[in-house]
Amino acid sequence: MRLTRTGAPENTIWVSGSYFREDIERDRPHTAGLKIFRARYSFLDALAELGSTDGTIVVDKLVSISADLAIPTTASLIIERGGSIDVANTKTLTINGYFESRVYSPFSGAGTVVFGANSRRTLSTPSGFAEDVHLKGNIGLEVSFETGEQTTHTVYFPFKVTVNKIRSFVTKALAATDDGTITAKNNAGTGMTNGVITIAASAAVAAEGSASPTANNVIGADEKIQLTIAKTTAGGRARVTIEFTRTV
């Protein structure tokens, strides 16, 4: 069983296979000042019990999510060591309140985890302590429209991400006659919706472009984004920046 001193969150439910509920202050007066958190085996049961009241759910076992689920802003979710959440394929877990993970990989499965606009996130660090981290990032690479240099570039991610935007910056003026294109594709080679940057023929150095993918833009852990570079009349180079949001 797990004890906590007075001052810890009062409305806390553990989702675990090894805890039980007991009110020791009522039955054992000599333990006054200590509380035992109640526990539930089912994550959905814990969420239903919490309802719309402010409270915390702590997960220290594997939890499976098989349907779309939204966690309200009133609920804080903490993933303890030994805990994780598996989201089924095509399903979405939306976290709208506070989220804290004390493990490196709190989520698994082929589904999607998204965070609401007002959510707050804290993740585990290599030292084992939790700290606030930025879940957005970018990766840059050089691409070429020159003869013999046009190809499909691949960039791998060690964690699941959503590609939000792709930007281009011309570093060598493009040859005339026709436009150059940079086409973003997911790991399976499917083109991202709204994922093509077109750079105009004869575009000068420092000319910029961008694309904001809206579908097929989720890249799983250890998967790649593909960028296909094409121009009929060869000539020119550019730098590409991939902006992404990590899906924890």
Torsion, Cα of 108, 114, 119, 122 (10° steps): 30
| DSSP structure string for 74-96 | TEEEEE-TT-EEEEPTT-EEEE-
Contacts for 208-213: CB closer than 8 Å, 24+ residues apart:
208/167, 208/168, 208/169, 208/170, 209/167, 209/168, 210/165, 210/166, 210/167, 210/168, 211/165, 211/166, 211/182, 211/184, 212/164, 212/165, 212/166, 213/163, 213/164, 213/165, 213/166, 213/184
CATH (residue range 136-246): 2.60.120.340
151-183 pLDDT, tens digit each: 999 999 888 889 999 999 999 999 999 999 999
The pTM of the full predicted model, rounded to 2 decimals, is: 0.55
Counting residues of the chain whose pLDDT is more than 70, the rounded percentage is 81
Say if residue 20's pLDDT is above 80: no
Q: Which range is least confidently modeled, 110-124, 184-198, 199-213?
A: 110-124
Reported confidence tier of residue 194, pLDDT bands at 50, 70, 90: very high
62-82 pLDDT, tens digit each: 999 999 999 999 999 999 888
Whether 193 contacts 240, CB under 8 Å: no
Domain boundaries along the sequence of the chain: 3-132, 136-246
| DSSP structure string for 137-175 | EEEEEEEE-STTT--EEEEEESS-EEEEEEEEEEEEPPP
Q: What is the mean pLDDT of the chain?
A: 83
Highest mean pLDDT: which range of 13-27, 134-148, 221-235: 221-235
Q: What is the pLDDT of residue 218?
A: 92
Mean pLDDT of 79-102: 89
Contacts for 16-22: CB closer than 8 Å, 24+ residues apart:
16/41, 16/59, 16/60, 16/61, 17/41, 17/61
Q: What is the pLDDT of residue 19?
A: 52
The separation between CA 46 and the C-alpha centre of its own chain, rounded to angstroms, equals: 24
